Chains A and B, each alone.
Chain A
Amino acid sequence: MIRVTRRYNFSASHRLHSPRLTERQNREIYGKCNNPHGHGHNYVLEVSVRGPVDPFSGLAVDVAALDRLVQTQILSHFHLRDMNRDVPEFEGLVPTSENLALVVKERLQRAWAQEFRGEWPVLEKVRIQETPRNIFEVFVPVESRTVQDQTAGREFVSKS
Chain B
Amino acid sequence: MFITRKVEFSASHVCARPDLTPEQNQALYGDASRPHGHGHNYVLEVTLEGEPDPVTGMVMDLKELKEILNREVVDPMDHRFLNLEVPPFDRVVPTTENLAIEIFRRLEPKIKSRAARLHAVRLYETEDLYVDYFGEKI
Residues of chain A touching chain B, judged by Cβ–Cβ distance below 8 Å, are 1-8, 53, 56-60, 63-64
Contact = CB atoms under 8 A, between A and B. Distances in A.
> Which of B28, B97, B131 has most chain A Cβ within 10 Å?
B97
Q: Interface range on chain B: under 10, 10 to 19, 20 to 34, or 35 or more?
A: 20 to 34
Contacts of B132: 2-3, 5
Nearest to A54: B97
Interface of B: 15, 17, 28-30, 92-98, 100-101, 127-134, 138
Contacts of B98: 53, 58
A59 B95 contact: yes
A107 B95 CA distance: 28
A58 B128 contact: no
Contacts of A64: 30
Contacts of A58: 15, 92-95, 97-98
Nearest to B93: A58
Nearest to A6: B129
Contacts, number: 51
A53 B29 CA distance: 14
Contact of A2 (B17, B28, B29, B101): B101
B131 A2 contact: yes
B129 A60 contact: no
22 contacts: A1-B134, A2-B101, A2-B131, A2-B133, A3-B133, A4-B97, A4-B130, A5-B129, A5-B131, A6-B128, A7-B127, A8-B128, A53-B98, A53-B101, A57-B28, A57-B29, A58-B94, A58-B95, A59-B97, A60-B97, A60-B131, A64-B30
Contacts of A6: 128-129
Contacts of B128: 6-8
Contacts of B30: 64
